[in-house]
A and B are shown apart, each in its own frame.
Chain A
């Protein structure tokens, strides 16, 4: 995973080290929400939810996207899938820019890109049976006949570890963890190459959370699916990810391999995040990096580095100049957006 150099533009699709094409490339993606209220209903200002994010993702890899609420991580996931079309920037799936596709073309592309939602209660229709829910993508994309679809649904149910007698039951008869399995089965129905998993375990209890995390891990290995795994939980992110990107106020502030970012965090925000996690070991003495204040409103982002108002090592430069994502110390794939990292 490498951030794509802005100067290179995006005329040519980037190639990975072994010469193959990345599955997914995201280049300078922006998602601004206009806020109404100006004269004649013209947007008075924009909320910059995602503000220039670039990365690429290879097959079978998991990129963990971590950040606090409101940092734009869910919006990024939706913008990549064109569920909320981005305001600027590009998304390429196997080199094909999604922006160049017609509605029909986009629909076809979605066979390869699916999403698992956070809330297993809100994301399943209460009026449909489990079989109907899991079969829906097959119906929409007109895949197979009725018998084949039924067979595929049964197969999917087995893959996610549920019993066949669940087929004709309704979502309310299942616990949160089981519902999340139903949502995963639905996402798998079309054999996608890429799945956005948006906080898939946040609503679950720990004993169930680990079951679902293991399932996702297995799918990645068995089906070679690439995941964008969005979470606020750094321990969960570490467990599932090959690479990690840390987001703050719509921008990626640090990205690296999971190993390197946890062993050698370089951005002050990443360090503070890591230090803030309560460790389930009473012998552990927490060495907190105290952050003051709250995340600034994305409506009114500070000038310069988005993190400068809370940064414990802020300098004059940080208040005026926006730091760009550039190679940090250590591994070549480690990128940091901080003036203090040289």
Chain B
């Protein structure tokens, strides 16, 4: 009975994470760089959201900010809030954040070799995490670690747990990272380019594993990636970032069927696709991403946009709901 109501409550109060007007800046030799500039979005419990964009768009910094991992100095969260189930993470002290990291929110990184400590056995690194957040004896933690390794599809987990990171292949290392990240049953997993360093056949295996575990654990996931193919296959919702701000936030089916922002449209068009007839020329987005130190005052995409108007250069368009759709877009003249 109580379990039922808890379940029902989880369904109705389904906002897990709410990021509002987040601004993150870094001090550099050349001046202050605003890596994230007024980003807002919400994540529902159990939902998978893709955070998409090209390098330097602020997607990783957004992920790090949620975990309170912005290196300070030179970085700092200037303003905005990050609420996890109503609790503002930006107001927490480091010890309080440490309790949340790994248990409530976990993160996996692009390069598993640099994320794992090379001088410790996999087992001891996993047991560390488990015992930090849960009341477990060494033996219990050891058993739990083996169980997690088996869950992420590592053959012979009892043998592998005694090995060092360099003894594993890239795909295996990423599985170990996933096992570690999920070992304390987080409500939210932030996966930063989890398969970018992997080969395509291994990538397929790892993505499949992540999706399977995600539904098994019922956790939400923010998938940070530049690969729109991965987003189309794994995410329900997608957030497109450019130069530190969100340009479009839409359900994945909407985004791919009707990209509204000119940047999203250009991005989708410029991917070489497997198809029967080879295109002679790929559509391109002309120009390049502006320097974060010298951002244009209006829309950040204005210089590369083929629909640019006077207004775009004067004032930055805000992210707003497009009538009769579930799409939010930051453009004066969306498609």
A interface residues, Cβ below 8 angstroms from B: 68-69, 175, 177-178, 205-211, 213-214, 217, 232-236, 238-239, 258-259, 262-263, 272-284, 286, 288, 290-291, 294-295
Contact = CB atoms under 8 A, between A and B. Distances in A.
A280 B271 contact: yes
Contact of B232 (A206, A209, A273, A281): A281
Contacts of A209: 270, 272
Given A69-B199, A214-B284, A239-B278, A280 B272 contact: no
Q: Which of B205, B280, B282 lies at the interface centre, i.e. has the most chain A CB atoms within 10 A of its CB?
A: B282
B288 A177 contact: yes
B199 A214 contact: no
Contacts of B54: 205-208
A205 B200 contact: no
Contacts, number: 127
B271 A272 contact: no
A314 to B, nearest CB: 16
B204 A274 contact: no
Given A282-B252, A294-B172, A276 B204 contact: yes
A276 B172 CA distance: 18
Interface of B: 54-55, 169, 171-172, 199-205, 207-208, 226-233, 252-253, 256, 266-268, 270-276, 278-286, 288-289
Given A273-B201, A274-B274, A294-B171, A280 B283 contact: no
B256 A263 contact: no
A177 B199 CA distance: 23
B232 A279 contact: yes
Given A278-B232, A278-B233, A239 B288 contact: no
B253 A282 contact: yes
B255 to A, nearest CB: 8
A263 B201 contact: no
Given A68-B201, A276-B203, A234 B276 contact: no
B274 A280 contact: no
Contacts of A238: 272, 274-275, 278
A211 B304 CA distance: 13
Contacts of A281: 232, 256
B266 to A, nearest CB: 7
Nearest to A239: B272
A210 B283 contact: yes
A205 B272 contact: no
A206 B288 CA distance: 11
Nearest to B280: A217
Nearest to A269: B201
- Nearest 7 CB-CB pairings of A with B: A278-B229, A205-B54, A68-B199, A210-B270, A276-B204, A239-B272, A210-B282
Nearest to B230: A278
Given A238-B274, A284-B233, 14 more contacts: A205-B55, A206-B54, A206-B226, A208-B54, A213-B282, A232-B200, A235-B271, A236-B272, A277-B229, A280-B228, A280-B229, A283-B256, A290-B205, A291-B201
B203 A294 contact: no
Nearest to B273: A235
A143 B200 CA distance: 44
26 contacts: A68-B200, A68-B201, A177-B288, A205-B54, A207-B54, A207-B285, A209-B272, A210-B283, A213-B272, A234-B274, A235-B271, A236-B272, A238-B274, A238-B278, A239-B278, A259-B278, A273-B201, A276-B204, A277-B200, A279-B229, A280-B229, A281-B232, A283-B253, A284-B232, A284-B233, A288-B204
Nearest to A288: B204
A273 B276 CA distance: 17
A226 B202 CA distance: 32
A177 to B, nearest CB: 6
Nearest to A272: B201
A248 to B, nearest CB: 11
> Which of A210, A214, A235 lies at the interface centre, i.e. has the most chain B CB atoms within 10 A of its CB?
A210
